[in-house]
Amino acid sequence: MKLHSFEHYSHGLAMAARDSWTTARVKSALTRADPNFGLHIHVKTHGGAVALSGMVDTHRQCDQAIEVTRSVQGVVDVEASALRTHVFKPGHFDDQ
């Protein structure tokens, strides 16, 4: 088993700290934009790339959440394929 140097571990810790800080800033920005975003959107960050998941009511809210996330300092990329919208058709109920 290869031993890793202190520099390798410190670099990993620094990246984890930056990612945690970015996640907190994104979550805060989303909550300020719409309090429901803070409750229903989950945020994960890895290497500055932010992944959003969860449910919002409309496609417009999905677009808004992505734009708010992009505006946060430290965000390199936004992945929102797991961010879903509630789609209701009059007179129909989804069977899940």
> Of the candidates 92, 25, 29, 80, which has an alpha carbon nearest to the alpha carbon of residue 56?
80
Give CA–CA dist 34/48, Å, rounded. Answer: 23
pTM above 0.75, yes or no: yes
Print pLDDT tens along the chain (96 aa): 455 565 555 668 888 999 999 999 999 999 999 999 989 999 999 999 999 999 999 999 999 999 999 999 999 999 999 999 876 545 555 544
SS (HEC) of the chain:
CCCCCHHHHHHHHHHHHHHHHHHHHHHHHHHHHCHHHHHHEEEEEECCEEEEEEEECCHHHHHHHHHHHHCCCCCCEEEEEEEEECCCCCCCCCCC
